[in-house]
Chains A and B, each alone.
Chain A
Amino acid sequence: EVQLVESGGGLVQPGGSLRLSCAASRFMFSSYWMHWVRQAPGKGLVWVSRINSDGSGTTYADSVKGRFTISRDNTKNTLYLQMNSLKAEDTAIYYCVREDGDSRIWFDPWGQGTLVTVSS
């Protein structure tokens, strides 16, 4: 079964940095585009960022542009999200998701998520 396992979440002060990781297994990681999606406590889902299969192309939500960097290491089957200048409103569960489909895309599967709390 395809698996995505996030790690790296925790408590960080406003203005601080954190790097999330997502370990992928049981599929050809290097062939898939990958995303991060977040969910603030008790709120809905918000797309954060996307990276193409070889890591040469990235896209970000306006709310994180310039502060977050998505990257990947296909030799380690791992996706990353470097988060800098963190704000209280970045507090959320962060999910790693695989993009599937061709002309139309969808997210499947999702990791279990890692909680990031930005607070002093």
Chain B
Amino acid sequence: DIQMTQSPSSLSASVGDRVTITCRASQSISNSLNWYQQKPGKAPELLIYGASNLQTGVPSRFSGSGSGTDFTLTIISLQPDDFATYYCQQSYNTLQLTFGGGTKVEIK
């Protein structure tokens, strides 16, 4: 199976901060990498697909980059609605899809 490692596992930030979350795959996955946002008590929602494509309706302060094994989710100017947990997911191996462990973004 392809292992997905996210860092950090949690972070504290203030409204207006720039936030960067990284996701590393245990082998090359090309650009088959998706990001999801999950708020407490809610189902996850798709943010970014194919490493860098913003899902319709997602604010432009979110962006994704990377290919191969290293990927980044960036939030420029963090907003109150962005405090949540973020997960990366690889879809390169479609027989065994795997998620990262998650990054919880908390209010400083």
Contact segment of A17-25, A42-50, A71-79, A80-88: A42-50
Q: How many residues does chain A have at the interface if contact means C-beta atoms less than 8 Å apart?
A: 22
Residues of B bordering A, CB below 8 Å = 31-32, 34, 36, 38, 42-46, 49-50, 55, 87, 89, 91, 94-102
Cβ-defined contact, B43 with A112, below 8 A: yes
Cβ-defined contact, B49 with A44, below 8 A: no
A104 surroundings in chain B (CB, below 8 A): 31-32, 49-50, 91
Interface of A is mostly: strand
Cβ-defined contact, B99 with A47, below 8 A: yes
Cβ-defined contact, A45 with B94, below 8 A: no
State the CA gap A108–B37 with chains docked (Å): 12
| Residue in chain B with minimal CB distance to A107 | B46
Given contacts A45-B87, A101-B49, A104-B49, contact A110 B102 (CB under 8 A): no
